[in-house]
A = this chain, B = another copy of it.
Amino acid sequence: MAKGHIFNFSVAFADTDLQGIMYHGRYIEVAERARTNWSKDILIPDGDFGFIIRELNIKYKHPLRLNDNFVVETKIIEVGNAFMTVEQKIVKDNLICAIMNITIAYLGSDMRPKAIPESVIKALS
């Protein structure tokens, strides 16, 4: 569990750009794909908007290329009243290629911050 949730992926043409490496914006998508897989059994109570990204920081360490296999490691850093912070690493053969920190708020139906429901917190841990 030290590494958190593990998600396997590999680089396709759609992920590359003319520099021959994975496009920097694609890391954000792949990280979301990993979080969605990680949280797929969580039910957002009816009426609530649910989670929304508030801030995202990514450091790019090493480029990825076509057909590179890698994993996304996802773990919760902090769960607050109406938000959580998550760390995600993109790792290829034990080499950290990118590291992200994401602050995610929980919103009610009025699009305003709301305490994360107990049922959701339980499902997250």
Contact = CB atoms under 8 A, between A and B. Distances in A.
Interface stretch (A26-34, A75-83, A89-97, A117-125): A26-34
Given A18-B17, A57-B55, A57-B56, A33 B50 contact: no
Contacts of A13: 17-19, 23, 32, 36
A2 interface: no
A111 interface: yes
Contacts of A28: 24-25, 28
A123 to B, nearest CB: 14
A98 to B, nearest CB: 10
Contact of A19 (B21, B49, B55, B57): B49
A14 interface: yes
Contact of A58 (B17, B29, B56, B111): B56
Interface of A: 10, 12-14, 16-21, 23-25, 28-29, 32-33, 36-37, 40, 49-50, 52-60, 63, 66-67, 111
